[in-house]
C-alpha cells in the first residue's frame, strides 16, 4: 500500500469524521438526551468507538483497493471506486448533519438507508478486487444497517415532535 494513497483516504475519512464530531457533540449534550429511544440503543460510548474503528477500516481498505486497481492498470475502476468512496463519505457526513445538526429524524432515516446501500456497494467493489478487503469492509454496511434501524426507530418514537 502506498503511503500517499493511505494519506488521501485517511484525510477523506477524517474530514467526514470531523464534520460528524463538530455537529454531534453539542447535540449529544442537549437535544439527543431528550429523545425517546428504542430499547436496543447502545450506550453513548459505543458510537465513537465503533465509528473510529470503521473510519480506520474504510481508510485502510480503500487505500489497499485503490492501489490494487492502480497496480492492475484499471484506471476506470480505480476512478469509479474513488467516486463511490467520495459519495459514501458525503452521505456519511450528510446523515450526521441532518440528524444531529438539523434534528430531521425522518430525512436522516432515508439518508441512513442510502448510506447503508452505499456502504454495501463499497464493500462489494472492494471484494471484487480482493475478497479479504471486502470482508474487512463488511462491518461498515452492517453497522450502517443497524444505524438505519436505530435512526428509523428513534424517528418513529418521536414522530409527534
Q: What pLDDT was estimated at residue 147? A: 97
Chain segment 53-81, per-residue pLDDT in tens:
999 999 999 999 999 999 999 999 999 99
Whole-model pTM: value is 0.94
CA 2/CA 125 separation, integer angstroms:
19
Chain segment 33-53, per-residue pLDDT in tens:
999 999 999 999 999 999 999
Domain boundaries, the chain: 3-32+47-157
Judge whether 64 and 133 are in contact, CB under 8 Å. Answer: yes
Would you place residue 161 in the very low, low, confident or very high pLDDT band (cuts 50, 70, 90)? confident
Chain segment 97-117, per-residue pLDDT in tens:
999 999 999 999 999 999 999
CA 47/CA 135 separation, integer angstroms:
21
- Rounded (5°) CA angle 52-53-57: 115
Judge whether 84 and 149 are in contact, CB under 8 Å. Answer: no
CA 26/CA 21 separation, integer angstroms:
9
CA 118/CA 127 separation, integer angstroms:
14
Judge whether 23 and 96 are in contact, CB under 8 Å. Answer: yes
Would you place residue 1 in the very low, low, confident or very high pLDDT band (cuts 50, 70, 90)? confident
Average pLDDT for residues 129-136, to the nearest whole number? 97
Alpha carbon 32 to its chain centroid, in Å, reads: 20
Q: Which residues touch 41 (CB under 8 Å, ≥6 apart)?
A: 150, 154
Amino acid at each position: 500500500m502506498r503511503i500517499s494513497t493511505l494519506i488521501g483516504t485517511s484525510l477523506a475519512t477524517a474530514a467526514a469524521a470531523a464534520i460528524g464530531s463538530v455537529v454531534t457533540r453539542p447535540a449529544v449534550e442537549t437535544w439527543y438526551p431528550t429523545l425517546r429511544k428504542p430499547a436496543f440503543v447502545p450506550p453513548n460510548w459505543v458510537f465513537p468507538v465503533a465509528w473510529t474503528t470503521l473510519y480506520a477500516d474504510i481508510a485502510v481498505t480503500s487505500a489497499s483497493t485503490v492501489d490494487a486497481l492502480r497496480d492492475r492498470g484499471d484506471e476506470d475502476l480505480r476512478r469509479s471506486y474513488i467516486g463511490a468512496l467520495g459519495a459514501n463519505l458525503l452521505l456519511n457526513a450528510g446523515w450526521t448533519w441532518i440528524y444531529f445538526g438539523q434534528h430531521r429524524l425522518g430525512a436522516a432515516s432515508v439518508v441512513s438507508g442510502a448510506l447503508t446501500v452505499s456502504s454495501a456497494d463499497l464493500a462489494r467493489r472492494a471484494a471484487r478486487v480482493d475478497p479479504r478487503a471486502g470482508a474487512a469492509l463488511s462491518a461498515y454496511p452492517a453497522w450502517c444497517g443497524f444505524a438505519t434501524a436505530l435512526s428509523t426507530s428513534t424517528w418513529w418514537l418521536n414522530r409527534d415532535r
